[in-house]
Amino acid sequence: MNSRRRSIDFARIAGAALVSSETIVTRWLPYGRRDGAEWTAKNPKRADSRPGSFRVNLRSGRWADFATDDKGGDLVSLAAFLFDLRQDEAALKVAEMIGVDPYGR
């Protein structure tokens, strides 16, 4: 029996999430709009009066709130930010949501 702990494949999960990026962000940030390759929305973590400063790049997964300087490099970090999760918890949730083995093969 192998007692070694399996490592979460963050890059694999983040990459697989990009295939469904628009579906994911419309679910997580429903009151937004597509602007070219970006999703522009209200930041649900603060009293944001209108979409504009919170953006997610649908091709790379990078996101930022230019009003607060919150930012991240992929949809896993976006999930961690939005739902107050640790990175490993967010990765597992995203992997489950998109049907990807979080540990790879």
pLDDT in tens, 23-80: 999 999 998 999 999 999 988 888 877 778 899 999 999 999 988 989 999 999 999 9
Query: Over the range 12-31, which residues count as b (16 or more CB within 10 Å of their CB) and which as e?
Result: bbbebbbeebeebbeebbee
Q: Which of 14, 11, 10 is nearest to 57 (CA)?
A: 14
CB-CB contact of 55 with 98 (8 Å): no
* 62 inside domain: yes
**What's the domain count of the chain?**
1
* 105 inside domain: no
Residue 1's pLDDT is 41
Range of the domain at 88: 10-98
* 36 inside domain: yes
* 3 inside domain: no
Number of residues written out for the chain: 105
